[in-house]
Each structure stands twice: as C-alpha cells, then as structure tokens.
C-alpha cells in the first residue's frame, strides 16, 4: 500500500564474477542482474579510481598512503620489534641503559607519528576527501549537461545516472578505506612474516595450518550476513518509506485529513519492523554460532591453544626458543592472521565498489549525439525559420511528428494549437535542438540548425515551457539564469523584465525586492510564489534576454483570464518586431496570430488566420466552438 520509489543495489560475488543486482518494488522478488564483472574488470575499476585520485589530489593520496603504511609499521615496531628487543636485552642481562634508549627512540617516534597523524586527520583528510568528491561530481555534472535529453527517457540510463550521482562520495570513501586496509595491511603482513621468518621460521608452519580454517569460517559468516541483509532489504525499504511518509511535508496535510491512512501507515511500519526482527531471528542463531566459532572456539581454543602449545614445545622441550622469541613469534602469528583476515574481507568491499565504479564510468563514457555538426555562429537579427518534412519519434517505431512542414518569416507571430498529445511541445523541442528530427530538417536564417554551434543556437532563442522550474535562489538569479555581474544596469534590466511580465515587486512579502530568496528550502525568509507569479518569473527570463525568436509553450496557463489578457497585450507590444511561436489551449489567446497551425496526431492538419480557419469550418472551427460554448456556460455559473 505504501508508495515506493527507491531501489536498492546489492552484490553477489562468486569465485570469478561480481554481479551488481537491483532489488525492486520493495517486494524482494524480482532481482535483476544488472552487471557482471570479472575480477579483471574489478581490477580495472580500481586502477581507474587510483589514477583519478592521484590525478586530482596527488599530495593527499601520498599522505593518505603514507599514514596508513606508517600505522602498520609503527604497530609492528611498537608491539613486536620493541617488545622482542626489550625482552632480549633483559634476558641477556644487558645494561638498563639500552632498554631506556630503545624506549626513548620509541617514544620519540610515537610523538612524531602522533603529530603527523593529527595533521592528516584534521587537515589533510577532510580537505583531500572534499577535493576528490568535487572532482568526480564535477565530471558527472559536466557529462549530465552535455548528454542528450533523450537519455532521460531511457530507464536504464536514468538508473545509471542516479546511481552515479548518489554513489560518488560513498565510492570514494570505500576506495580510500580499501587503499588503507589492503595496501597498508599488506605491508603489516609482510613485516610480521619476514620478522617471524627471522626469529622463528618454523612458526610460519603453524600459521599456514590454522589460516585456511579461520578464513573458511570468516567467509561462511560473511555469506550468511549477506543473505540476511538481502532478506531484510525489501522490508527496510518499506519501513524507510513509512518513515518518509511521516516526516515529509508533502504528506502532512493529507495525513491530517485522512487519519485512517496514518493508522494504516503505522500498522504497515510495525509489520515491516516485525518482519525485520523475524529475519534477524532466523539468521541470528547461525551468525552467533559462526561468531562463536571464529571468535571463541577457533580463535581462543584452537588457534591460541595450537600456537601456545607449539611455541611452548619449542621453548621447553626442544629448547630452541627463548622467552623473548616465544612472545614475538606469538605476536607475529596473531598480527599476520588478523591482517590477512581483514584483507580478505575487504575484497568484498572492493568488488562491490568496482560494480558501482563501473556504472559511474559507463555514465562518464556516454557520448552525446546532439552535437554541433558545424561551428557556424548564429546570424544577428531576425531570420526565417523553416521546418521541412520533419518526422520524429521518441522511441523507435512510435512516430510523434509526421511530415511537419511550416515556414515562419521574421517578425511573424504564429500559433500552434491542437488537443493534448498532438505533438506541439515535441515540435518546439526539436526547434530548440533538444532532440534532432529522424527525417527532414529545420533551418534558421536559411541554414540547417545542426550546423550552428549548439549552445549559441539555443541561447539565441527565448523559451518559456509549461514545466519551467523556480530555483532556490534570489528572484534576480531566477530571472538572469546566469552569473550576476552586480551592476546597476543589470538590476534595472531584471526589474524591467519583471515589470513587463506583469510581476509586481510592490509586494510586502518581497522584503528584499529582486534580492528576495525564492522557495523556503534554504532561507527562513524565502518566498514561495503562487503558480501565476512563478509563471511571470519564467516569462521575465525570456523578456530579459530579448532574443529575436521567442517560443512560448502555454505561458499563461496559470493566470486568471484578466491577467492573461493583459499579459498578452503586453507581450504583443514587447515582441512587436520579434518572431514568436505560441502554444496555447485557449484559442482566444491566439486569435490575433499571423498564422495558426492546427496539429493532430503529429501532423499539421489546418493552417491559416483565425478568420480563415473559422470560415473553413474544419477542426479548428470545431475546437473554437467547443471552447466558446464552455466559456458561455462558465459565464452562466
């Protein structure tokens, strides 16, 4: 019953493959295999991120690795080497001065190490991490700016995009942890193994004997923990959604009006919680046993028992080991096995991270198809615009525009009308080169628009869409849609555009006039605009730029009839010498157009002036009659 949105990604790892899975619908039943990475690919992803991090933050990466390796080496020196040295000195009855010297060196090293670590922790790490987050996010944002709008219609792409943006920080975090645990701990393992081989080489045999059992236990425990996580996921997802319903303001009003819904949400929340507890119970015992086996039985009894017995046998029976060597050998075995365990476990993180990196790279490698074929600048002034036999479909085999042909002379005002879904907005998107036609072409100033530099071409057209967005920024920034230069002239032009769009600044709520922050997302004294006010801001954006070609898709749908009438008069005056393409459902607003194109099923079925079309008595006339009738009946009320 609860609405859902989020999807979960998880991993399945086998001996030679890593699969990224998507868990959907909150029902936990359809697990879709998304990607399959071989271990070779896993390494390639790690290599990619290593190069990326060293390229963008080389100093930080070097320091990061240095600190990690230093930690392992200092653990080795402090707890293994120094202990062995001090005990040997004591056993051999050497002077106390030697012990003191060793302690002094150790203390000095610890002091220096503490300082370098504090610098790393408080300065280097937070900054370095932010640098990397930003660098990767910037690459993703840059890519998202240039890829085709059509990509957003593709579910697979969208999933990859969301994953890429959501996972960047976590990917980098996991990578840094991996670098730390694998590289540094490998150094730790090498130190202890080499030292053990030097002190007591036979002890390595006991390590080799116990390690496979220990690892088997770790991997089994890990596998069960993953299974438990997979089973909990759908319920956690449902529970999380329940949470959101309670805290998101979007639902607050409805829940107050429908208290029974609140009750239902609460029940569902409790049920999901119960299911999670059930899963925890189901796996709890098994995980407890594995834990006991690894932590308790295996570690304490078998491992410790075997190691101590073996070492004591060497010392007391064979008499080949001193006390110092016994303690050191035990420390080496303990540290090495512990570090090997951590490294093995961290390969799971590496594999999981690689699957995410793979998706991020997939996104970064996407190439836009809507690009400038030529670098021609757009000519100044008004030019003719012609649409020549254009065909288009969003999806293969589903044509939305069919053989559309029309010519608009400079300064003409034309209107596109038709019922919902007839293709008006799609045609406008093609004019703006948000999509390219499948067949035919569009020319501006006599040149195929694909030959113009794409951004310059788009900037040469002013457009207002039905689904414009108001940003959490100042009113001025919402009109400018660009970086401010802060000049008085800029302020004047913004105010002028708002005035022309009939947006009134004489409003108590706009305490800071054009500097007033819009939306209450970040600012306590931010202002939420009404639908009509927001639409006027969107119109002001176009009026500010004063382009020669203006496209308006239902620009006044949120305005009341009087406001709409006045605004249209104003727009006619402002756009006197400009080319205007107007889309509207309300035919009364387009009756003065130089030419009206009636669209149906992606075709232009009629064209002419309002008078001509009425006289023809065709589809436009029928639509006009229906609207006039509705208007009359509205007046009766």
Q: Parallel, antiparallel, or unpaired: how do β-strands 603-608 and 461-464 relate?
A: unpaired
Least Å distance between CB 582 and ligand ADP?
A: 13
Least Å distance between CB 168 and ligand ADP?
A: 26
Q: Which is nearer to ligand ADP, 399 or 568 (CB)?
A: 399
What is the rounded distance in angstroms from the CA atom of residue 434 to the CA atom of residue 424? 14
Least Å distance between CB 384 and ligand ADP?
A: 23
Q: Which is nearer to ligand ADP, 373 or 603 (CB)?
A: 603
Q: What is the DSSP string of 206-273?
A: HHHHHHHHHHHHHHHHHHHHHHHHHHHHHHHHHHHHHHHHHH-HHHHHHHHH-HHHHHHHHHHHHHHH
Least Å distance between CB 400 and ligand ADP?
A: 4
Closest CA to 536 of 501, 570, 582: 501
Q: Which residues pair with 395 in a beta bridge?
A: 398
Closest CA to 294 of 228, 214, 212, 208: 214
Q: Which is nearer to ligand ADP, 188 or 555 (CB)?
A: 555
Q: Which is nearer to ligand ADP, 435 or 452 (CB)?
A: 435
Least Å distance between CB 178 and ligand ADP?
A: 40
268 by Cβ neighbours in 10 Å (0-12 / 13-18 / 19+) ranks as: middle
Contact 623/605 with Cβ under 8 angstroms? no
Least Å distance between CB 420 and ligand ADP?
A: 4
- Beta-carbon contacts of 140 under 8 Å, excluding residues fewer than 6 positions away, are 164, 165, 168, 360, 363, 364
Name the helix (H) or strand (E) containing 596: strand 595-600
What is the rounded distance in angstroms from the CA atom of residue 463 to the CA atom of residue 551? 5
What is the rounded distance in angstroms from the CA atom of residue 153 to the CA atom of residue 157? 8
- Beta-carbon contacts of 30 under 8 Å, excluding residues fewer than 6 positions away, are 24
Beta strand extents in 24-114 (DSSP E only): 31-38
Q: Which is nearer to ligand ADP, 423 or 517 (CB)?
A: 423
What is the rounded distance in angstroms from the CA atom of residue 340 to the CA atom of residue 211? 9
Q: Which is nearer to ligand ADP, 355 or 416 (CB)?
A: 416
- Beta-carbon contacts of 69 under 8 Å, excluding residues fewer than 6 positions away, are 183, 184, 187
Least Å distance between CB 416 and ligand ADP?
A: 8
Least Å distance between CB 601 and ligand ADP?
A: 9
Least Å distance between CB 552 and ligand ADP?
A: 13
Q: Which is nearer to ligand ADP, 201 or 421 (CB)?
A: 421
- Beta-carbon contacts of 490 under 8 Å, excluding residues fewer than 6 positions away, are 480, 484
Q: Which is nearer to ligand ADP, 26 or 602 (CB)?
A: 602
- The number of CA neighbours under 13 Å toward the Cβ of 8 is 24
Q: Which is nearer to ligand ADP, 251 or 465 (CB)?
A: 465
Question: 304 is written with which tokens?
Answer: 């410790």
What is the rounded distance in angstroms from the CA atom of residue 318 to the CA atom of residue 150? 78
3-state secondary structure of 140: helix
Q: Which is nearer to ligand ADP, 403 or 409 (CB)?
A: 403
Least Å distance between CB 436 and ligand ADP?
A: 14
Q: Which is nearer to ligand ADP, 150 or 349 (CB)?
A: 150
Least Å distance between CB 214 and ligand ADP?
A: 55
Least Å distance between CB 164 and ligand ADP?
A: 21
- Beta-carbon contacts of 192 under 8 Å, excluding residues fewer than 6 positions away, are 76, 80, 331, 332, 335, 336, 339
Least Å distance between CB 219 and ligand ADP?
A: 46
Sign of CA dihedral 48, 54, 60, 61: positive
Q: Which is nearer to ligand ADP, 125 or 465 (CB)?
A: 465
Radius of gyration for the alpha carbons in the chain, expressed in angstroms and rounded: 35
| Residue 524 CB neighbours (<10 A) | 6
Name the helix (H) or strand (E) containing 133: helix 125-146
Q: Which is nearer to ligand ADP, 152 or 288 (CB)?
A: 152
Least Å distance between CB 441 and ligand ADP?
A: 19
Q: Which is nearer to ligand ADP, 291 or 393 (CB)?
A: 393
Q: Which is nearer to ligand ADP, 116 or 150 (CB)?
A: 150
Q: Which is nearer to ligand ADP, 346 or 399 (CB)?
A: 399
Interface residues toward ligand ADP, by CB under 6 A: 153, 394, 400, 418, 420-426
Least Å distance between CB 128 and ligand ADP?
A: 41
What is the rounded distance in angstroms from the CA atom of residue 423 to the CA atom of residue 417? 10
Instruction: For residue 356, give Cα distances in angstroms to 83, 141, 170, 353, 481.
Output: 44, 17, 10, 5, 33
Least Å distance between CB 512 and ligand ADP?
A: 37
Question: 590 is written with which tokens?
Answer: 């387009």
What is the rounded distance in angstroms from the CA atom of residue 608 to the CA atom of residue 287? 77
Sign of CA dihedral 260, 264, 270, 274: positive
| Residue 476 CB neighbours (<10 A) | 21
């Amino acid at each position: 019953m609860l609405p859902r949105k989020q999807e979960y990604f998880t991993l399945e790892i086998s001996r030679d493959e890593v699969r990224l899975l998507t868990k959907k619908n909150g029902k936990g039943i359809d697990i879709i295999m998304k990607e399959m990475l071989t271990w070779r690919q896993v390494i390639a992803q790690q290599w990619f991120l290593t190069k990326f991090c060293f390229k963008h933050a080389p100093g930080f990466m070097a320091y990061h690795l240095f600190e990690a390796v230093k930690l392992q080496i200092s653990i080795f020196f402090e707890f293994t080497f120094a202990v062995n040295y001090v005990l040997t000195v004591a056993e051999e009855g050497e002077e106390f001065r030697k012990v003191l010297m060793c302690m002094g060196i150790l203390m000095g090293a610890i002091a220096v190490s503490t300082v370098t670590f504090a610098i790393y922790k408080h300065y280097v790490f937070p900054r370095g991490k932010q640098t990397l987050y930003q660098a990767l996010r910037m690459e993703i944002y840059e890519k998202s700016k240039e890829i085709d709008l059509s990509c957003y219609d593709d579910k697979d792409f969208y999933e990859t995009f969301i994953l890429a943006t959501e996972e960047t920080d976590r990917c980098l975090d996991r990578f840094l942890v991996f670098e730390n645990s694998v590289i540094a701990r490998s150094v730790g393992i090498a130190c202890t193994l080499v030292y053990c081989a030097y002190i007591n080489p036979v002890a390595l045999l006991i390590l080799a004997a116990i390690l496979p059992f220990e690892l088997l236990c770790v991997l089994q425990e890990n596998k069960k923990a993953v299974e438990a996580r997979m089973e909990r996921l759908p319920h956690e997802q449902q529970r999380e959604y329940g949470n959101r319903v309670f805290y998101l303001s979007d639902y607050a009003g409805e829940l107050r009006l429908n208290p029974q819904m609140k009750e239902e949400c609460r029940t569902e929340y409790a049920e999901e919680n119960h299911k999670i507890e059930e899963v925890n119970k189901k796996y709890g015992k098994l995980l407890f046993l594995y834990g006991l086996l690894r932590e308790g039985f295996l570690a304490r009894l078998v491992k410790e028992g075997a190691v101590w017995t073996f070492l004591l046998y060497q010392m007391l029976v064979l008499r080949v080991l001193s006390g110092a060597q016994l303690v050191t050998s035990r420390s080496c075995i303990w540290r090495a096995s512990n570090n090997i365990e951590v490294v093995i476990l961290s390969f799971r993180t590496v594999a999981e991270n690689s699957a995410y990196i793979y998706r991020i790279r997939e996104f970064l490698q996407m190439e836009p198809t809507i690009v400038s074929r030529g670098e021609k600048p757009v000519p100044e002034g008004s030019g003719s615009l012609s649409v020549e036999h254009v065909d288009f479909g969003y999806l293969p085999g589903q044509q939305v525009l069919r053989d559309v042909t029309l010519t608009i002379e400079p300064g003409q005002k034309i209107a596109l009308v038709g019922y919902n879904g007839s293709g008006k907005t799609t045609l406008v998107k093609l004019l703006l080169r948000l999509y390219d036609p499948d067949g035919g072409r569009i020319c501006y100033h006599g040149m195929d628009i694909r030959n113009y530099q794409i951004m310059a071409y788009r900037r040469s057209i002013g457009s207002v869409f039905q689904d414009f967005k108001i940003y959490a920024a100042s009113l001025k920034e919402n009109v400018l849609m660009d970086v401010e230069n802060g000049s008085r002239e800029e302020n004047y032009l913004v105010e002028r555009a708002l005035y022309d769009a009939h947006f009134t600044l004489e409003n108590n709520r706009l305490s800071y006039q054009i500097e007033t922050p819009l939306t209450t997302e970040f600012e306590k004294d931010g202002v939420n605009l009404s639908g009509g006010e927001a639409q006027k801001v969107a119109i002001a954006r176009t009026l500010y730029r004063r382009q020669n070609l203006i496209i308006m898709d239902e620009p006044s749908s949120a305005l009341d009839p009087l406001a709409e009438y006045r605004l249209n008069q104003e727009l006619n005056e402002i756009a006197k010498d400009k080319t205007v393409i107007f889309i509207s459902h309300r035919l009364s607003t387009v009756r003065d157009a130089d030419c009206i194109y009636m669209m149906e099923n992606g075709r232009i079925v009629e064209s002419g002036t309002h008078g001509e079309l009425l006289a023809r008595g065709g589809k436009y006339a029928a639509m006009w009659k229906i609207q006039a009738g509705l208007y009359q009946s509205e007046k009766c009320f």
